Structure formats: structure tokens, C-alpha cells
Chains A and B, each alone.
Chain A
């Protein structure tokens, strides 16, 4: 080796080392830049996946309103009002006594307003609200709103629950408690706390295993956001680099805010509690700004082990760590002696929670199908939308209970109907407000876990006699309630096959008046009527109600040999209930984004389908079906307010229906097997009792008012004697009937016109003469 060669080689060596160093710096720089961009991209965009929430409608309370105490109490529970034995002093507390209900209301947030929580006293006499008083001001209130109930969330795969908060809302003592527990030098380091790392390293060497990480809050944020949970050197180095970059990019308060919104703080059923905003409600039932020091310490104590120190799961461990943390805060001088003593003397007690279960799942499915037309499932799982709906939680609860019990009763009466799994006897129930189209409750089957098929919106079931009102309606331009319909047997030939309609209850009467024929659901008379006015006319009339399924032009259509979707049938009956107007079914009211901007707002949309007078006349006929016809069992079930309704039973009892309405509420009930196995009962015995149970359970939705008579209706007394026999003199059976004003029959009654008397006298004379 020459002497001259050595310096050259050394120079090359140095150059090589310098190049390697440069390359390393460049690589780290590039990697850092890439990480920086990643951090920036991640944090400047949407930071968290926020599930969208579905809310029920608000609940209105006002003096005079009759309430169902049990359903009301259940609703308060679901709204997380916790019972106390003293007058409620904080939001979320309630005390129910015999004559009064005291509530400290939560904050109310609806698309149109925000209302602070306040204490209220509701005086109740019997089951009626007699007075509502603001306990703070003593003022009597004409009306009170209970906040909407959270009925479901659209979760992403992480199933995280989170309520975002801003750092301004976080009380100082909570910040101090978290920093004391996790990173007490947070405001003094730049993302990495070397002292903390050395301390952790010493502890790990001492124990011979990795016990402490010495991670700063910034490192924890980097780890939670970007890194996998395993403990490796490479991952640790990456975490350190990211922590420094985060500190370079964001100020301390922003980092703290992100951390507060990010951290995992417990478990509620299958969903995780993330962020102190959500944790504050989950553990203490209040917004973060209302937390006391003692509660803040408990939340801070949770960070190290949300389940190990959970006040729900391990209250003693939680309390021990909370006290330890308070001691540490006092030692560090972040709280004074008085605050420490106060917090130590007040052990925390969590508010309790209900494990989230699906509420109104068929309803949620129904509106989800509408929502996905506008929002992808990913958006719904991440954008944190608030979806306000028309659901009335009390009506929903009543509907679910009534359907379940009603079906069980049928199974008890007919043990051979008991089957397992998806083959079980099923039911469907929907409750609508006819005037607005608002869907208050929907039960698409007896067990959503077992079968998600929504029988209200997806099933096509034979309508049976529930279709008859549309036949009678089609005839109103030619006939009146007193018109006599033939009940004589007739055979029809359809597609080469003969068909002879038979009555459900055999009758040898030759005719029925129209009112009676519909009330008693007389098949032959109805088919005669349909054939008389023409099946095409029936189809044309029914088509106006918006049925989407085909209406076959066959005589048996008159008896409901047509498959209909229950919701559409309910909507069609709604026209009769709402004076001839049809309301578009409404389930979603508003959709708001996280910032409270309204993205979607749906309003009541009406269409006049038939005249108010025709709707009223049909309603009157259907009232007779309830008071004197196939639905008369309602009276024995305590339904003493005006109801119009129709039973329906299809061939071989495959479907049992009852659809009934008041001016305020329409309820449709269907019972049957998915595969068409007979239910062995009629609409009157299988479906009607379920209807009665729901109606009786929701007095707050039924005013008891009668249907209002519109213009175009004429009331008149007419002779009801059998016209086939010449009546005795004078007519002895006058009854008041209602008519469309242009369909009032000629006078044949004694009172109507003096001439009628002589007319009848002449007829009687002729009859006697002919008999002689």
C-alpha cells in the first residue's frame, strides 16, 4: 500500500460517510415530510368518524293531556332521567310521586331551537296533567317538550360513540386532572418528554419488563391516530417523530382538544365510549362543562385503564385511583387544600346506563332506505348527522307490546300454530297521523333479531274485506247508504272458471242496505255492487289512493282478492280519516350536520283525493262497522271514543286485519304467517284486540273528538221499512241517515212531505184491495 493511497482512501471514506449521512438525513427528512403531510391531511380534514344519530320526535306535554304513566315513566328512563328521593336539583334527575312528577329537564336541542334544562313540576290528577310549573321561576307553562329520544346510531366498523367538545368547554380542573394523570410536563415539552422516558426506562429495567411507556399526551395522540398498538422499537421511533411533528404543526391547546376528543374511556355494550364529551354523559349524565372536580378526577383516572378503573365495573378500584390522583394534584399544587378536601369527601357515583339495544328497528330500516338515497353508508357512519324523525317512542312501545302479546294470545288459543324461528306466526302494525302522514310507530314483525323482513313496508298481503270501502266509495255517485244491495247468490265465470261469492256468515236475506252491507261485511252484496257499478270503476277509484301493486279486473277484487302493501293500505284509509286528503308518509323530519346546518327538511305534503263529503260519508259507514258490524268487539274492549274501522279476513283465514282510525290516529294491524298458513281466526278476533290494546295505551294521541262534518252532507230521516213489502201506515221505522247533498233520496217518509202520507195511504189501500 503506497503512502499516497491512504489519504485518498480516507477521503473516499469520509465522502462515503458524508453521502450516507446526507442520504439518511434526506430519507428521514422525506419520511418526516411524508408523515407531516399525513398528519396535516388527517387532522385538517374530518378528524373523527362520528356515527349519525336517529332521534324520535319531541314529546309534547300540556295541561289536560291524558298520559299513560307507565309509558311515560319508561320514556323518562330511556332519556336517562335518574330517580332521586329529593326534589331534582340537577339536569337529568326525576322524582315521580302520586300526584306530581318532578323533572330537572336536560337541555333540548331540536333543529329549530335550543332550550336550557330547567326544573319543572307536572301536577297530575288521575292520569291527566293538571298543571305544569317551572320550579325555578314559579311560572305556569302552557306546554312542555321532552327532548327527542336517541333511537339508533349508524356505526362504522369501530362502533365508537363520541360527542365532540371544544377545549373552551373543558373545565380547568379536568385539564389539570388529565395532565396530572398522564403528562404533567405537557406544557413544558415539545412532544417528547425525555425525563419521562428516562423515568420509564429506569422503571422497566428495574422490573425486567416493559411496564411504563413514558408517553406524552402528544405521543398518545400519534399512537391512537396512526399506529398499531404493538410495542416495538420501530413503532416507538415513529411515534416520537410524529409527536414532534404534531407539536410543530399545532399549538398545545389544539393538541389537548384533539386528545380529549380521541381517547378511549370505556365500553357501553358493544360500542366504545370515546372522548371526554361522551364519557361525561356516560358516567355522570351531564355535559363536560358541568363536571365537578371529584368527577373530573374519576374520568382522568380512567385513561390508564378504562375498564380496569371503570366506576361501573370496579367502583373500589376507581375510587382508589381517583383519590390517589387527587392527592397527586394537591402535591403538584394544581388544586388547593379546600378543593382537595371537597373532592375527597364526595365519592363519585355514576348515573347508570342502559345497554344500547335497537329501538324501533323496522322503522329505522325503513328510514335508512330513504337516507341511503342521499348519503352513503360510510357518510352515515362518519359524518355525525342528526336525523330527526316522526317516531313517538311511547306509541312505538305500546305497539310493540300489543303486537307481541296479541300474537302470543292467538298461539295460546291455538297451540298448533306455535312454530319456531322464521316460520313463526307474524304480525305487522303501523300507527299514522292521517292528517300529516307522520308515522308514529312501526312494527314490521314480532322479532327483528329473528326476521328483518318488514311486513309493514315490504309484505304484499291479500287485503280481503279491508278493500271493500273502496268498492263502496266507487258507488257513492250512484247509490246512497240506504240503497239496497242484492244478497242473492250469483255465479260468475272468470277465465272459464266459475266463482260464486259466499258470505262469511250465511244469511238468507235477499238484500242489505249499503250501510249495513259494509258494516257486516256482506260478500255477496259487495260483489253485486261492484258488478253493478263496474269493476273498472272500482279500479279507477282505488287507483287514486296510490296503491303500487296491480289491481286485477276480476269480480273477486270486490272482496279484496288483491295483494297490497300494508303501509299503502294504511295510507289509503288515512284519506278517509283526513277528510279526503292524502298525506305523503313522513318518517324523516330533518337532517342536520354536526354544525347544526339543516341538510334536509321534509314537510307535510297533501293531495286531495276525494271530496271531504265522500270521506265523511265513508267514515260514517265505517263507524257503523265498529258500532254495529264486524268491529263491534271494540266497544267491549273499552274503546268508547269515535272510531271508524274495518276488519278483514282472507280465504282460509290466511290474513287477519283490522284497520281503524279516529280523527287523530290511524292504526293498521295484520296477523298471519309469511307462508300463508291459516291463522285460524278472523280479523275481528286476531287483529282487532291488538288494535284496541294500542289505542287504549296511547291516550296522549287520541283526543276523543268526533269526525267533523264537512259541507256537502245532508242529514235526513228516511223510512227504513222493508220496501219489498208494502209498509203499514204510516212508516214506523224512521232513521236518520246522511247523504251527499246531490244524492238525497226522494221523500218517502211520513215527516218529509205531506204528500208522502197520501202516497203511502194509497199504496196501503191498493195492497189491501189486492189481498182481498
Chain B
């Protein structure tokens, strides 16, 4: 943990009081971890699901992230081709390379939905929600997936 010792307590204390009075004191929050932010779905378009889309890893991303994006894209193509089991393998490899890879979980949920396993789909959907929570472009898709999950569960 970070530790900082204040050298000139009175001055800094007064400055702190003033700052707190002006801004209100919010809990300090570190910036979210970087490296898990592939570019949004087809740029400029509203996310429709499950529409084909091109994922891109940001330039500062780790090699693992780039690789997980590649694997997710491969898996997505397999999923669209109806090769659900093969697609699941690719998505599993994607999230094993980068455990924070939200799209990987999203598509794992899609694949399990396609197989009619709503319980598995639900688990991965929750992980997708967790890892895509700061990605507004995924919100609509996640909601739609959630609806389908509910319908799937209701349908038995």
C-alpha cells in the first residue's frame, strides 16, 4: 500500500480543509486498470446483437490482449458458422490469455445460450457485465443478452 508522511502538517492541514470545503471530500479512486479496452464495435454504429463486428485492441494493450482479441474474433466467426463447440474453445482461450477480456465472456454466454445451457450462459454473462461495465457501447448488447437469458430460463 502507498504510504505518505506529511512533512508540514499545519500548512497542509489548512490546505486540506480548504480543498475539502470547496470540493467536498470524495473517496480517492485510482484510474481503472488499463489494457482491457478493445475498440468499440463497428465504429459509429449502434451496437446491434449479435451482429458481426471488428474488434481492435488499443495500441497500448499487452500482447495477451491483442491475442485474446484475435481469438475472440476467430470464435465469433465460428459461432456464426454454427460451430458452437469450436467457438467455445476459442473464447475460453481468449479469456485464459486475458482474464479481464469482457468480450470473451460475452461471447461465451452467447455460445452457451446457443447450446441452450442457460446456467453456463448466466455465469459468463455476469462476468461479461463485470468486465464491460465501463464500456457503454456494450450496454445495449448486455441488456439484450440478459433478456434472452431470462426468456431461456423461463422456457426451461
Interface residues, chain A, with chain B CB atoms under 8 Å away: 60, 62-65, 112-113, 128, 142-143, 433-436, 438, 515, 578-579, 581, 589, 598, 601, 603-608, 612, 624, 663-664, 703-706, 708-711, 714-717, 720, 729-730, 732-737, 744, 750-754, 757
Q: Do residues A435 and B96 form an inter-chain contact, with CB atoms below 8 A?
A: yes
Is B44 engaged at the interface, CB distance under 8 Å to the other chain?
no
Q: Write out the residue numbers on chain A whose beta carbons fall within 8 Å of the beta carbon of B95.
A: 435-436, 604
Q: A606-B124, A754-B17 are in contact. List 10 more A-B contacts (CB 8 A).
A: A128-B63, A435-B96, A579-B127, A603-B88, A664-B64, A705-B62, A705-B98, A715-B27, A732-B5, A753-B20
Q: Do residues A705 and B63 form an inter-chain contact, with CB atoms below 8 A?
A: no
B97 smallest CB distance to A (angstroms) = 8
Counting chain A CB atoms within 10 Å of each CB, the highest count among B10, B32, B97 belongs to B97
Is B43 engaged at the interface, CB distance under 8 Å to the other chain?
no
* Bound CA span A709–B92, Å: 22
Q: Do residues A143 and B67 form an inter-chain contact, with CB atoms below 8 A?
A: yes
Can you list 22 contacts pairing A with B, beta carbon distance less than 8 Å?
Answer: A60-B67, A62-B63, A63-B66, A112-B78, A113-B86, A128-B63, A143-B71, A438-B96, A604-B108, A607-B123, A664-B64, A703-B63, A703-B98, A705-B35, A709-B33, A720-B3, A732-B9, A734-B4, A735-B2, A737-B1, A752-B25, A753-B25
Q: Write out the residue numbers on chain A whose beta carbons fall within 8 Å of the beta carbon of B146.
A: none
Closest to A112 in B: B86
Q: Write out the residue numbers on chain A whose beta carbons fall within 8 Å of the beta carbon of B35.
A: 705
Chain B 46-74 interface residues, beta-carbon cutoff 8 Å to A? 62-64, 66-67, 70-71
Q: What 0/1 readout, one digit per residue, does chain B (1-25) give for beta carbons within 8 Å of chain A?
A: 1111110011001001100110001
Closest to A707 in B: B33
Contacts known (A435-B95, A435-B96, A715-B30); A64 close to B63, Cβ less than 8 A? yes
Q: Do residues B27 and A735 form an inter-chain contact, with CB atoms below 8 A?
A: no
Q: Write out the residue numbers on chain B whose beta carbons fall within 8 Å of the beta carbon of A704.
A: 62
B17 smallest CB distance to A (angstroms) = 5
Is B100 engaged at the interface, CB distance under 8 Å to the other chain?
yes
Contacts known (A436-B96, A579-B130, A710-B130); A729 close to B9, Cβ less than 8 A? yes
Is B36 engaged at the interface, CB distance under 8 Å to the other chain?
yes
Q: Write out the residue numbers on chain B whose beta carbons fall within 8 Å of the beta carbon of A715.
A: 27-30
* Bound CA span A59–B83, Å: 22
Is B89 engaged at the interface, CB distance under 8 Å to the other chain?
yes
Is B93 engaged at the interface, CB distance under 8 Å to the other chain?
yes
Q: Do residues A62 and B27 form an inter-chain contact, with CB atoms below 8 A?
A: no
Is B151 engaged at the interface, CB distance under 8 Å to the other chain?
no
Which label, helix, strand, loop or mixed, suits the secondary structure of the B interface?
Answer: helix
Is B99 engaged at the interface, CB distance under 8 Å to the other chain?
yes
Closest to A739 in B: B27
Q: Do residues B92 and A604 form an inter-chain contact, with CB atoms below 8 A?
A: yes
B112 smallest CB distance to A (angstroms) = 8
Closest to B92 in A: A604
A519 smallest CB distance to B (angstroms) = 10
* Bound CA span A500–B36, Å: 49
Q: Write out the residue numbers on chain A whose beta carbons fall within 8 Å of the beta carbon of B108.
A: 604
Closest to A702 in B: B64
Closest to B99 in A: A435
* Bound CA span A438–B95, Å: 12
Q: Do residues B1 and A624 form an inter-chain contact, with CB atoms below 8 A?
A: yes
Q: Do residues A735 and B36 form an inter-chain contact, with CB atoms below 8 A?
A: no
Chain B 96-137 interface residues, beta-carbon cutoff 8 Å to A? 96-100, 108, 120, 123-124, 126-127, 130-131, 133
A631 smallest CB distance to B (angstroms) = 15
Q: Write out the residue numbers on chain B whose beta carbons fall within 8 Å of the beta carbon of A515.
A: 1
Interface residues, chain B, with chain A CB atoms under 8 Å away: 1-6, 9-10, 13, 16-17, 20-21, 25, 27-30, 32-33, 35-36, 62-64, 66-67, 70-71, 78, 83, 85-86, 88-89, 92-93, 95-100, 108, 120, 123-124, 126-127, 130-131, 133
* Bound CA span A12–B30, Å: 115
* Bound CA span A736–B126, Å: 29
Contacts known (A715-B28, A716-B28); A142 close to B66, Cβ less than 8 A? yes
B18 smallest CB distance to A (angstroms) = 9
Contact of B5 among A603, A716, A733, A751 (CB under 8 A): A733
Q: Do residues B1 and A581 form an inter-chain contact, with CB atoms below 8 A?
A: no
Q: Do residues B13 and A757 form an inter-chain contact, with CB atoms below 8 A?
A: yes
* Bound CA span A664–B124, Å: 17
* Bound CA span A645–B81, Å: 43
A515 smallest CB distance to B (angstroms) = 7
Closest to A586 in B: B92
Closest to B29 in A: A715
* Bound CA span A60–B2, Å: 37
Q: Do residues B67 and A65 form an inter-chain contact, with CB atoms below 8 A?
A: yes
B154 smallest CB distance to A (angstroms) = 22
Closest to B131 in A: A708
A299 smallest CB distance to B (angstroms) = 36
Closest to A579 in B: B130
Q: Do residues B66 and A717 form an inter-chain contact, with CB atoms below 8 A?
A: no
Q: Write out the residue numbers on chain B whose beta carbons fall within 8 Å of the beta carbon of A113.
A: 86
Q: Write out the residue numbers on chain A whose beta carbons fall within 8 Å of the beta carbon of B67.
A: 60, 62, 64-65, 142-143
* Bound CA span A708–B132, Å: 12
Q: Do residues A62 and B16 form an inter-chain contact, with CB atoms below 8 A?
A: no
Q: Write out the residue numbers on chain B whose beta carbons fall within 8 Å of the beta carbon of A624.
A: 1
Contact of A142 among B6, B20, B28, B70 (CB under 8 A): B70
Q: Do residues A714 and B27 form an inter-chain contact, with CB atoms below 8 A?
A: yes
Q: Write out the residue numbers on chain A whose beta carbons fall within 8 Å of the beta carbon of B32.
A: 708-709
A148 smallest CB distance to B (angstroms) = 13
* Bound CA span A751–B21, Å: 10
B35 smallest CB distance to A (angstroms) = 6
Q: Do residues A709 and B123 form an inter-chain contact, with CB atoms below 8 A?
A: no
Contact of A730 among B13, B62, B96 (CB under 8 A): B13
A680 smallest CB distance to B (angstroms) = 34
Q: Do residues B63 and A717 form an inter-chain contact, with CB atoms below 8 A?
A: no
Q: Write out the residue numbers on chain B whose beta carbons fall within 8 Å of the beta carbon of A436.
A: 92, 95-96
Closest to A753 in B: B25
* Bound CA span A735–B10, Å: 18
Counting chain A CB atoms within 10 Å of each CB, the highest count among B3, B10, B29, B92 belongs to B92
* Bound CA span A606–B83, Å: 22
Contacts known (A751-B16, A751-B20); A608 close to B126, Cβ less than 8 A? yes
Q: Do residues B70 and A62 form an inter-chain contact, with CB atoms below 8 A?
A: yes
Contact of A705 among B33, B78, B86 (CB under 8 A): B33
* Bound CA span A112–B5, Å: 58
Q: Write out the residue numbers on chain B whose beta carbons fall within 8 Å of the beta carbon of A612.
A: 130
In order of increasing CB-CB distance, the 7 nearest A-B pairs are A64-B63, A112-B86, A435-B99, A703-B64, A62-B67, A751-B16, A716-B27
Q: Do residues B33 and A736 form an inter-chain contact, with CB atoms below 8 A?
A: no
Q: Write out the residue numbers on chain B whose beta carbons fall within 8 Å of the beta carbon of A751.
A: 16, 20, 25
* Bound CA span A142–B32, Å: 27
* Bound CA span A730–B9, Å: 6
Contact of B123 among A581, A703, A730 (CB under 8 A): A581
* Bound CA span A315–B86, Å: 46
Q: Do residues A578 and B92 form an inter-chain contact, with CB atoms below 8 A?
A: no
Q: Do residues A601 and B85 form an inter-chain contact, with CB atoms below 8 A?
A: yes
Contact of B30 among A664, A709, A717 (CB under 8 A): A709
B69 smallest CB distance to A (angstroms) = 9
A225 smallest CB distance to B (angstroms) = 38
Counting chain A CB atoms within 10 Å of each CB, the highest count among B21, B66, B96 belongs to B96
Closest to A728 in B: B9
* Bound CA span A716–B85, Å: 45
Q: Do residues B66 and A433 form an inter-chain contact, with CB atoms below 8 A?
A: no
Closest to B115 in A: A603
* Bound CA span A712–B2, Å: 20
Q: Do residues A708 and B17 form an inter-chain contact, with CB atoms below 8 A?
A: no
B92 smallest CB distance to A (angstroms) = 5
Q: Do residues A705 and B100 form an inter-chain contact, with CB atoms below 8 A?
A: yes
Contacts known (A435-B96, A706-B33); A112 close to B89, Cβ less than 8 A? yes
* Bound CA span A757–B20, Å: 12
Q: Do residues A434 and B99 form an inter-chain contact, with CB atoms below 8 A?
A: yes
Contact of A708 among B3, B13, B33, B88 (CB under 8 A): B33
* Bound CA span A604–B3, Å: 40
B142 smallest CB distance to A (angstroms) = 14
